Structure 1
Amino acid sequence: MAGHKYARVRDHLLRRIRDLPVGGQLPAESVLCAEYEVSRITLRRAVDELVQDGHLVREHGRGTFVTHPRYHLKHRERFVNEVTGFYTQLARQGHTVTSEVLTQESTRAGTRLAALLDISPATPVVRLERLRRVNGVVHHLAESYVEEERFPDVLTTDFTAISLYAYLRAHHDLLLARNEIVVGLHLCDGREAGLLDVTEGAALLLATSRVFEPGGKPVIHGTSKFVPETAELSFDIVADVE
């Protein structure tokens, strides 16, 4: 799939340019296309994302060059053809992401969550709540639910410096095939305001997601509450051209 090809090219290019000096020039598009055996569309998509993240800069008529990574006030979570978590995305951009685990408990699914995860309301689930920081600054409040019987170690694993998505891939061979996302506004309560250092009742960006494995079974339900002044959400919809 084109999405997977672009992601492999982007990740390899990122590793490659980290070994180049600022001002170093990338080979011509035609050379890179031949090297990676991809189309110009796929290559440009990979390079475009590295430009957006501040690792590369294009100079008209001259080429593409390595630049200093930008450390924006706003850290963007991008939703694309691959399913990754916030931790992985920001780490790729050169940021330090840490999580303060606020809640890690077993609880009964209940009617609403049972419908979202396609399980019985009486099924035990693990609730994982984390306060995420980027470069030491509070960024958002994340809450995730997984089925406890299937992923019992999520109840005891230290998620201070690791991604839940990456952990499930590595320790449970879980393939994450699709992320269904709904974005809206949420007025924060007193507890959330204290954690995110905003005024009670302030409007937050709320991203609600369900992550599915191949075959269509939902395996993770989560919410992320972002402060609009320091975060933005980006959706990248690309046709499958290869």
Structure 2
Amino acid sequence: MEQSLYIQLSEKLIEKINEMEVGELLPSERKLAEIYGVSRTTVRLALDHLEVRGYILRQHGRGSIVVDYHKSLINLSEMYSFTEQMKALGQEPSTKLIGHSIINTNEKLEKIFLNGEQKFIKLIRLRSSDGIPLMYEESFIPFSKFQDIKIKDIEKRSLYGIFKEDFNEVVKLAQEEFSADLVNEEVARQLDVSPDSAVLQIYRTTINIKNETIEYTESKADPSKFSYRTVHHNHIEY
């Protein structure tokens, strides 16, 4: 089965990467296919998996470059905590669940989760402080793992707390990417900004202690009201 083959190959490549120096190049796709006796499609899927996980960076014309895994992935025990930071500022954080649904997988989610998951729970949340909207978030979690999640708890509890306490799914690492973006009318209305305003776009992928991707979130933050940074905490509250 192609899926299990590329996962097996990615684990073998991680062993190889652990013996390499940052900046070294992995062999080409063609060479890897020859070495491991698999198709180039399997190799590409495995490399996609490794890039999402933060082990390599793929550059056109160069190939797959080994990167510093510990710098590319953020340890959640040292991650920015929206709830705790707002409390530290003497403000009252809140979460509003705007919508939730069960959706079928798509090409983007297949590439992120890489586990054959067919359905996802989509959560749309608005994060506020002292009643002022700061972040608009769309999260996707595997239906097979979290189908029994209590939607009424989403506004009251940490999502990662729910993962751990209700499903024994402990989040170990997260990978985040940042970019600038413009908001559409709906997001502008929720964030109380003008349509086409510039926002900070945050793409977040979380991985459990079994090295499985269990959440993907896209957040839009109003930069005039919100500053995103990494802080030290002894626990996770997100």
> Given the two structures, how large is their TM-score scaled by the length of structure 2?
0.60
Q: Is the contact between residue 84 and residue 165 of structure 1 (CA under 8 Å) also seen in structure 2? A: no
* AA of the residue aligned to 2:170: L
User: Structure 1 residue 88: deviation in Å?
Assistant: 4.4
Structure 2 unmatched ranges of 5 or more: 1-73, 233-238
Matches within 5 A, 1:1-242: 81-82=77-78, 85-91=81-87, 94-120=90-116, 123-154=118-149, 156-235=151-230
* AA of the residue aligned to 1:216: N
Partner Cα distance (2:183, 2:108) in 1: 21
Partner Cα distance (1:110, 1:155) in 2: 24
Q: Is the contact between residue 85 and residue 163 of structure 1 (CA under 8 Å) also seen in structure 2? A: no
Root mean square deviation, CA, Å: 2.4
* AA of the residue aligned to 1:129: I
Higher helix share: 2
Structure 1 unmatched ranges of 5 or more: 1-77, 238-242
User: Structure 1 residue 236: deviation in Å?
Assistant: 5.9
User: Structure 1 residue 79: deviation in Å?
Assistant: 7.8
Partner Cα distance (1:136, 1:191) in 2: 18
Give aligned pairs, total.
159
User: Structure 1 residue 156: deviation in Å?
Assistant: 3.1
Cα-to-partner distance string for 1:99-144 (whole Å, 9 max, x where unaligned):
11111110012110121112336x1100000111111111110111
Any idea what SS the aligned residue of 2:120 has? strand
Partner Cα distance (1:206, 1:200) in 2: 15
Q: Identity over aligned residues, as a percent?
A: 18
Q: 1:125 to 1:92 in 2, by over 3 A?
A: farther
User: Structure 1 residue 86: deviation in Å?
Assistant: 2.5
User: Structure 1 residue 154: deviation in Å?
Assistant: 2.8
> Given the two structures, how large is their TM-score scaled by the length of structure 1?
0.59
Q: Is the contact between residue 79 and residue 236 of structure 1 (CA under 8 Å) also seen in structure 2? A: no
* AA of the residue aligned to 2:181: H
Q: Is the contact between residue 104 and residue 155 of structure 1 (CA under 8 Å) also seen in structure 2? A: no
Q: 1:89 to 1:172 in 2, by over 3 A?
A: farther
Partner Cα distance (1:86, 1:79) in 2: 15
Any idea what SS the aligned residue of 1:232 has? coil
* AA of the residue aligned to 2:211: G
